[in-house]
């Protein structure tokens, strides 16, 4: 009898349920019985012992369901070693709850912060397997994360919808896409949605170049321009600042986000009517797309196989379209950034897309 714990941590996204279902389907179709214990609201459930044993009925009908049946929350890695308000050692509490239940393994679904804590638990002697969840697609060691393609579809649809009103009114529209540190989502949605300018964290922008791209479109007879802007887009001036100086400057930042600042600058300097659209958390929501359903199911199935064979300490990812296992220590604490010289950037530029550089 295998006893498996499972939790989802960090921001929610599409296909979390599909991935968990994949694990359970694989285990239930083996010759070895398994008990599944679901911990509620991420690491918080493992810390405070908030769990219940799940049945096959819990995993029925959830392939197409967004969000997570276990709930989720953020437990920052930087404070994981700090005692809670009641003096509880969080790491020791997680280890204690794991051992009190006699678990053989914890299956943890999450992004970068989640993987740091998962690797810490591995170092502390727990058997851990992780699955790569994030709409940002920024986890190191895997070509793709589940939730990403679904979010791309939603952000692309937002850009598609903006096109009609932008062209009707001859406006400049900035669509703010999620992504604080990396621009995979903005880049892919921007290209798929036909954005004219794409601003991502990895390529600091020059406002003069952005405005020139708008004027160049006007000169070619285009009365509107669509910009796909990552939440974490940064100007060349700010990119050159030290962390301390940037922090001081941002204390007086008066806009809801950098997207609104860019919009204000464009409108004031060009006199063109400029608007901002923010799809926001809709990018995390709804039913997973077909790609994510298949992908998450494949990841879950492979995680189940690793459990059955007693192979722990890995993230299950994908490379060159094949599902692979990646040592957790090779994943934790690393970001998969876009290389400004990557072929996809060069190809986008050949299509006439400006990155403001």
Give the active site residues. Answer: 136
Output the six-digit token pair for 217.
Answer: 């479109």
- Provide the 8-state DSSP code for 347: H
- Provide the 8-state DSSP code for 180: S
Give the SS3 label for residue 73.
coil
User: Distance between CA atoms of 147 and 185, rounded to whole angstroms?
Assistant: 11
User: Distance between CA atoms of 140 and 142, rounded to whole angstroms?
Assistant: 6
Q: 134-169 b/e with 16+ CB inside 10 Å = b?
A: bbbbbbbbbebbbbbbbbbbbbbbbbeebbeebeee
The values of phi and psi at residue 42, to 5°, are: 70, -145
User: Distance between CA atoms of 8 and 110, rounded to whole angstroms?
Assistant: 6
Longest dimension (CA), the chain: 70
Write the burial class of residue 307 (CB in 10 Å: 0-12 exposed, 13-18 middle, 19+ buried): buried
User: Distance between CA atoms of 163 and 225, rounded to whole angstroms?
Assistant: 9
User: Distance between CA atoms of 354 and 316, rounded to whole angstroms?
Assistant: 35
Specify whether the CB–CB gap between 296 and 132 falls below 8 A: no
Task: For 38-62, give the DSSP string.
Answer: EETTTHHHHHHT-EEEE-GGGGTT-
Output the six-digit token pair for 220.
Answer: 């070619």
User: Distance between CA atoms of 76 and 250, rounded to whole angstroms?
Assistant: 22
If you search the block for the tokens 């009114």, which residue do you land on?
Answer: 169
């Amino acid at each position: 009898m295998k006893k498996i714990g499972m939790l989802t941590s960090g921001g929610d996204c599409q296909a979390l349920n599909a991935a968990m279902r994949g694990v359970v389907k694989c285990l239930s179709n083996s010759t070895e019985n398994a008990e599944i214990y679901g911990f509620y609201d991420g690491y918080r459930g493992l810390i405070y012992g908030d769990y219940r044993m799940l049945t096959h009925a819990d995993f029925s009908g959830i392939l197409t369901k967004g969000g997570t049946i276990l709930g989720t929350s953020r437990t920052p890695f930087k404070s994981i070693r700090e005692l809670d308000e009641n003096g509880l050692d969080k790491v020791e509490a997680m280890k204690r709850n794991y051992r009190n239940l006699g678990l053989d393994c914890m299956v943890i679904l999450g992004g970068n912060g989640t993987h740091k804590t998962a690797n810490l638990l591995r170092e502390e002697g727990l058997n851990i397997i992780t699955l790569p969840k994030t709409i940002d697609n920024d986890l190191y060691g895997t070509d793709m994360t589940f939730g990403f393609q679904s979010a791309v579809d939603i952000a692309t649809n937002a850009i598609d919808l903006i096109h009609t009103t932008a062209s009707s009114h001859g406006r400049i529209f900035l669509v703010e896409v999620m992504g604080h540190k990396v621009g995979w989502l903005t880049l892919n949605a921007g290209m798929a949605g036909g954005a004219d300018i794409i601003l991502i964290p990895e390529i600091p922008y020059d406002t003069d170049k952005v405005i020139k791209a708008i004027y160049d479109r006007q000169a070619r007879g285009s009365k509107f321009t669509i910009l796909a802007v990552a939440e974490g887009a940064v100007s060349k001036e700010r990119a050159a600042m030290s962390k301390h100086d940037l922090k001081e400057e941002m204390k007086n930042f008066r806009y809801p986000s950098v997207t609104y600042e860019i919009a204000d600058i464009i409108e004031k300097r060009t006199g063109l009517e400029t608007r901002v659209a923010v799809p926001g958390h809709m990018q995390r929501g709804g039913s997973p797309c077909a790609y994510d359903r298949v992908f998450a199911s494949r990841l879950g199935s492979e995680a189940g196989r690793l459990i059955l064979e007693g192979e722990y300490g890995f993230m299950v990812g994908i490379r060159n379209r094949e599902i692979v296992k990646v040592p957790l220590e090779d994943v934790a604490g690393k970001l998969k950034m876009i290389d400004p010289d990557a072929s996809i950037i060069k190809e986008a530029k050949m299509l006439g897309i400006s990155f403001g550089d």
